[in-house]
Amino acid sequence: MNASDRASTPDPGDVRLALMLACRAPSVHNTQPWRWVFDGARLQLHSDTDRLLRSADPLGRQLVISCGAVLDHARLAFMSMGWFAEATRFPDPNVPGHLATLEFRPWPGALNTTAARIRAIRRRRTDRLPMLAPPGWLDVLATVRELARPHHVSVDEIAESNRPRLAAAAEHAAALRRYDMPYQTELHWWTGHSDTREGVPVAALVSDAEAARVDVGRPFPSAPYSVRRSDLEDKARLVVLSTLGETPAQWLHTGEALSELLLECTARGLATCALTHITELATSRSVITDLIPQPDLPQVVVRIGTAPEDTDPSPTPRRPLDEVLEIRAA
């Protein structure tokens, strides 16, 4: 690689810094199912199928959505460092786990509207507690729809009148899984532990009393008894991210759109919680399809609201970068 090549490509130190930020991206059960390979000119994103949830996610849909989120985080992180990362998605159809390749060019332009989302990466948390209603909701909804549009992902609000039906679908999905021993074993493997670099720690879980006040939520192993936000019933708004079809490319774009939505909301001071368990089963998925304007395929449900300032969720752990990044000699 000659000097001009080096001038047009981030060096390994820059790549490490960008990916340390990007890997704050959300993932199902905080599995962090991604691998990065940098060859000195291009950065490749691969899925890590060793982290596939074989009971909850046998097709890898949620895995690829998670990788889409880290891809969008990475592109924003590089932009904050003066690099535009052009993504080629699924560059080799013979290698399904090779999800994207990033190629770089200097980016001297102003960050403008992306700057706030970049700063939000470190602050974003999954908030499973009851929330207040989000202020300025119509503007929020319009903005996140525009952010998802380039990814061909629809963002639709669940009307308040339909909320009981969605809550019933969520409860039905949980009931079908309650005595599914492989599913429950997998869930407990990834949640409720301390001093780990992956999974959902105890500090990020909610107690039974707290979960009871959130009508649309994911059942996790219960945290020790607590009654945070005891005066709140959940007033979060509910939106659905959906696609026209069911391909890995559409799953990847869903994750990218989800990343943009979560970071935009965080930048506005809002709290969020992404839910994918409601779309794991065909029965609950069909209920959601009936609640949105077009017959698209629901991929993710997201709660969006406002959290009291005195109950900020703790950050979840992340794997060391050397476990997810390989730097090869040019």
Separation of alpha carbons 303 and 137, rounded Å: 12
Predicted pLDDT at 134: 97
Helix, strand, coil percentages in the chain from 3-state DSSP, rounded to 5? 40, 20, 40
- Residue 36's CB: how many other CB atoms inside 10 A? 22
Integer angstrom CA distances of residue 88 from 6, 45, 159? 21, 10, 36
DSSP letter for each residue of 158-211: PPGGGHHHHHHHHHHHHHHHTT-HHHHHHHHHHEEESS-SSSEEGGG---HHHH
Predicted pLDDT at 285: 92
Separation of alpha carbons 190 and 200, rounded Å: 6
Predicted pLDDT at 110: 63
Per-residue burial over 290-328, b if 16 or more Cβ lie within 10 Å, else e, is: ebbeeebbbbbbbbbbbbeeeeebeebbbbeeeebbebe
- Residue 28's CB: how many other CB atoms inside 10 A? 24
Please count the residues of the chain.
330
3-class DSSP state for residue 49?
Answer: helix
Predicted pLDDT at 5: 45
- Cβ pair 221, 201 in contact under 8 A: no
* H or E segment and range at residue 295: none
Separation of alpha carbons 61 and 293, rounded Å: 23
Separation of alpha carbons 247 and 297, rounded Å: 11
* H or E segment and range at residue 20: helix 12-22
- Cβ pair 26, 124 in contact under 8 A: yes
3-class DSSP state for residue 245?
Answer: coil
Separation of alpha carbons 25 and 35, rounded Å: 13
Predicted pLDDT at 267: 96
3-class DSSP state for residue 266?
Answer: helix
Cα 33 vs. chain centroid, distance in angstroms?
12
- Cβ pair 196, 216 in contact under 8 A: no
Q: What is the pLDDT along the chain (330 residues), one digit of tens a residue?
A: 444 444 688 999 999 999 999 999 999 999 999 999 999 999 999 999 999 999 999 999 999 999 999 999 999 999 999 999 999 999 998 998 999 999 999 988 767 778 889 999 999 999 999 999 999 999 999 999 999 999 999 999 999 999 999 999 999 888 889 899 999 999 999 998 877 899 998 888 889 898 899 999 888 888 888 888 888 889 999 999 999 999 999 999 999 999 999 999 999 999 999 999 899 999 899 999 999 998 899 999 999 999 987 667 778 899 999 999 999 876
**DSSP 8-state symbol, 312:** P
The dihedral built from the CA positions of residue 202, 204, 210 and 216, taken in this order, carries a sign that is: negative
End-to-end CA distance of the chain: 7
